[in-house]
Every structure is written in structure tokens, then in C-alpha cells.
Amino acid sequence: MKRMILLASCLTAVMAAAGCGTENGDAGARTASAVEDAGTNTGTGTPLNAGLRLALPDTLGAGQYTRDATAPPPMTNGEAVQALITAGVGNPVLMNAVYRPAGDTGGALRIDGAYGALSDPAKARDTLLQILSKEDHSTPVERTARTILPAGATEPLVCQIVVEKKSTQAEVLAPVCAWTDTSTTARVLRSGGTGNEIIGARIDLDAYAAQVDRIRTEIRVR
């Protein structure tokens, strides 16, 4: 009976705090979780996707986008890493890449994210977005972002349109969508090219969210 009570207590701790121990015993180690693809945490609405990571391939969308090997890697400084650790990301691994479409039209996709053990997924996502908005020199068009669940998707995206200030001082609109779960958080921004409109034009944020959902399926792996 004592053994059953102990096991039940451990399982409760796993579901509530993403683990009953760590993989290597270190204070900053990734939390071992018995919950994998368990759907959605009904308390927070956060998908429970333990053990996932981000992988950025050479191409996306069946070859529609190619990774730009010459693009400078953003978000690689120690300050960003420390900010994510403070936000509850254990052993964060930062990932970033720029993908350009065939013919270099339609706007490049910049993907930035991190994976690890996210004790507070929403806080990790918000911290990531704050870091990137400083790097992009971008500001949201509206105060509140939209939560969008694309058709066929089981996990929502948080999306908004931001204003990017370019080196030429021109301002353009850029759609942004981000996700978070207990293992990964990432943001996808479409920047430049004919796919972005000058201030005053309209961007179909729902269509963009559907595209980002497909990207999420490609780059979030075990």
C-alpha cells in the first residue's frame, strides 16, 4: 500500500511540475517527464509535449524555402540564454535560421526558438518574444495578440502583426506567430520581400498562421 501511495504521489508531481527528478541530478538539468503527448494541460491550456526539440533543416515546405547559409545568426548571446533560464527554461538550446523562398520573392522566414525543459511555457514564449522584438526593432500594431487555431491543428498559435523599422528608415508590416509547450518555444516572422506590405495594407494573419502551423510540424521533432 505504501508503495502504491508513493507511486501515486510521484505521478501527481510529474503532471503538476513536469517531473519527479532530473536526468542527471544537476540543478539546471532537464526535468525527466512521464507525460508525453498527453494533449493539453487543462489548468493552463499549454500542450504537454515532453521530449520534443527543434531541428532546422536545409529546406522547408517541400523545397519552397531554402535556408540562407550567409544570414548572420541572431539571438546567440549569453544575455538571451540567461533570460530564458530566468524564465524557467532548463538547459536552453537556442535555434535560429533564415529561409528564403524560390526566386527570393514573398518574404524571407526568420525562425527563432529554443528547446529544453519549460517549467512555465507561457513565460518562456513571452520572454523569447521580448528578446526578439529588441533585435528586430519591431513593435506590435495592436496591444493584444490573437490566439489562432488553424484548421486541422490541435495546438494554438499566438499571432500578431508588427512594424519593422528597416535600416532605410522605411517601416513595413511583418506577421509573427509563436507557439510554446513544455519542451519548445519558437517564433516565425516573415520579413521583407513582396509578401510584406507598407503601413496601411492588410495581411491575412489566419493564412499566415496556417503556414506557421505546417512549419511547426516540420521543425518540431523527437
- In order, the DSSP letters of 114-170 are EEEEESSHHHHHHHHHHHHHHHHTEEESSSSPEEE--TT-SS-EEEEEEEEE-TTS-
pLDDT, residue 164, reads: 81
- In this prediction, residue 67 carries a pLDDT of 95
Asked whether the beta carbons of 8 and 157 are under 8 A apart, the reply is no
For residues 174 and 76, give the distance between their C-alpha atoms in angstroms, rounded to a whole number. 22
pLDDT for 168 equals 62
pTM equals 0.75
AA letter at 168: T
End-to-end CA distance of the chain: 36
**57 Cβ contact partners less than 8 Å away, ≥ 6 residues apart:** 67, 218, 219
What residue type is 216 in one-letter code? R
Instruction: Supply the pLDDT for residue 74.
Output: 59
Give 10-residue mean pLDDT values along the chain (222 residues).
37 33 30 29 54 95 92 72 95 93 82 96 96 87 92 96 75 91 96 55 88 97 92
For 107, which DSSP code?
A: -
The whole-number pLDDT of residue 11 equals: 31
